[in-house]
């Protein structure tokens, strides 16, 4: 199997759509978009539309969870790619806090890239699984906090 260069995937809307189509079709259907990323932070947005809404005229919590998780996963993918060693990654725990109804595009931003990088380096150096807990915050188009999520990732060198 060919190794994927996720930095190139996340920079290209076309490549991201192909990745979603083959690996995360609901991300494509829901319109997830990687807005910005570097090794320290990542932002992922999700629109408010027919496919993402719930009966209460806001974005469905599961869709918010998907966008939040992807904002942390982008950082894991990028930092694993820079180590040039295969890792398995899995969400071990997730907590969500819903502050306000999401009635417009929501952008989740995770700024815990350094924490992820340090955890991956320890796992790589010691050749043992490690966990890292990271946070991401979702804001609406007006900059209001809509929700906050905490994800615990388990990262295991192969």
127-137 residue pLDDT tens: 999 999 999 99
3-state helix, strand, coil in the chain (%, to 5): 40, 35, 30
User: pLDDT band for position 39 (50/70/90)?
Assistant: confident
Asked if residue 101 is part of any domain, the answer here is yes
Contact 138/67 with Cβ under 8 angstroms? yes
Contact 18/39 with Cβ under 8 angstroms? no
Contact 105/140 with Cβ under 8 angstroms? yes
Asked if residue 150 is part of any domain, the answer here is yes
Answer with the residue of higher pLDDT: 144 or 3. 144
Percent pLDDT > 90 in the chain is 91
User: pLDDT band for position 78 (50/70/90)?
Assistant: very high
Return mean pLDDT, the chain. 94
pLDDT at site 157: 94
Asked if residue 55 is part of any domain, the answer here is yes
Task: Report, as an integer, the average pLDDT of 9-27.
Answer: 92
Among residues 2, 126, 8, 7, the alpha carbon closest in space to that of 75 is found at 7
Domain count, the chain: 1
Asked if residue 1 is part of any domain, the answer here is no
Report whether pLDDT(1) > 60. no
CATH number of the domain enclosing 58: 3.10.129.10
Range of the domain at 113: 6-157
User: Can you tell me the distance from the alpha carbon of 58 to that of 69, in angstroms, rounded to the nearest whole number?
Assistant: 19
User: Can you tell me the distance from the alpha carbon of 44 to that of 39, in angstroms, rounded to the nearest whole number?
Assistant: 14
Q: What is the DSSP letter of 116?
A: H
Asked if residue 37 is part of any domain, the answer here is yes
Residue 97 half-sphere exposure, CB side, CA atoms within 13 Å? 9
């Amino acid at each position: 199997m060919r190794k994927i260069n996720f930095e190139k995937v996340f920079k290209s809307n076309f490549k991201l759509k192909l990745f979603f189509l083959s690996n995360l079709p609901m991300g494509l259907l829901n319109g997830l978009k990687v807005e910005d990323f570097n090794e320290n932070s990542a932002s992922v947005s999700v629109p408010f539309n027919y496919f993402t809404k719930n009966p209460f005229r806001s974005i469905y919590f599961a869709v918010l969870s998907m966008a939040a998780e992807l904002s942390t996963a982008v950082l894991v993918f990028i930092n694993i790619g820079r180590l040039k060693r295969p890792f398995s990654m899995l969400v071990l725990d997730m907590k969500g806090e819903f502050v306000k109804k999401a009635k417009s595009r929501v952008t989740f931003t995770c700024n815990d890239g350094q924490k992820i990088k340090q955890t991956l380096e320890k796992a790589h150096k010691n050749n043992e699984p490690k966990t890292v807990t990271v946070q991401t915050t979702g804001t609406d188009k007006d900059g209001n906090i809509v929700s906050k999520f905490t994800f615990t990732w388990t990262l295991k060198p192969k």
